[in-house]
Structure 1
Amino acid sequence: MKWADFKERYEMFGWMGVATAMCSVLINRIFYFDHLYLMTLSLVDTDPSFIQALPQFESGFMSEELIKHFAQNTKYHLHQDFLNCALQNGDHCYGIRQGQELASYGWYSTKATPVTSDFKIHFPPEYVYMHHGYTNPDFRGQRLHAYGMAHALQHFTDRNYKGLMSIVGGENIASLKSTHRLGYRIVGRIYLFACMNHFFVFHDSGTRAFRTWLTPLRADLKTFWNGPGPDQNKAA
């Protein structure tokens, strides 16, 4: 990890964030380890500059037909397997477009949602889970990802949701910077360990307080976790 990354991590999360990142680098030399930040965003915490209109762009939730149109172009990273899963789950995609180009997009779910090939996340019904944000390389540097989240948040707040919830990997410094800049608050951490085809998932006290959990997608996955079982999460 570069010195600049450690410096930025310290400015956002203090020495605990730096120590966790260093431990992640060392532990991953022995077995799989990942730490995930659980974040929430409410309208009151959002930088108001991101809610202003973007006159040079067209934005809004896209129809299934429009999503499938853009998915035909591989540069948008709307892979068919993911697309089928997201649409079947009833997820919504908020897109920012300029002419015939899809500049940026993000997905929003109100149901338990896969977060990896092995696990799904359960979260409180008063929140919307934001996932799979992407910005076209031709439009990067304009903070469109943050604008999209802020506008989607306004939409869901108007419909009586408390806010957005998201998970960001501890190594994804670019996404951590973007969410921190917008106003996301870290409310918990989830730690994933794997060794010899066995997983252990640890949810810290903040994650448990927000009634948010990861559970395995498959019954045959050898997993141990601190928290409720899948049956207890079905309502989330």
Structure 2
Amino acid sequence: MIDTRPVVLTDAQWSALEKNADDCVIRDFNDIEAVLVSAQETLGHLADDNPLYCPALAELAVWDSGPEDNADLMMTLNIPGLRLATEMIQIRDFRVANSTPGAPVVRVVIGELLTYRNRLLHDLVVLACTHPNLGSLATYAEHLGLSAADLAEHVRESASRTAAKINDAGLREQVAHLVRNYRHANVRYLIDQHVAAARTAASDPTTPA
């Protein structure tokens, strides 16, 4: 199963990357590739239980647009059975931090590449959910960060006598049950409404923690 959740580095991971930043600046494609390779070597080749481990970096690769045009590059995301690619990215987008060489440059490069990675996977999930497929809808719910508790009330409303068994079985069984009772489009609406309400509550300072 592909993990489509967004990747955001922790403070500890950024600190590990910045130790190797030195006087890093971005002049051309080779500098961007060097920053990515360094990040992969620092965070991508660790034990699974190491808190600094970031396997998502190992899935990324950058490609030069060619020797005659050093203004663009492309990033690819290599996941099991699939390769996703961005549109052309202008190298000048990575030069914004050059006024302060070193750590800020590393943050811009890796931060931008991870942002592109997160967008590619988000678009993949949204595309998959345009088809009334049960597996893709459950993946969509997981991608948005829902847990089994988030759909528990909807399951109780649709089948109170079997709700406890279904809720105990987890998010995917809940989605399967709701689709059987409410249809695919309605369950997609329930998921989106729950996420929207949660985001509104999180941004409201008056909402109790």
- TM-score scaled to structure 1, two decimals? 0.21
Which of the pair is proportionally richer in helix? 2
Larger radius of gyration: 2
Which of the pair is proportionally richer in strand? 1
Higher relative contact order (CA 8 A, sep 6+): 1
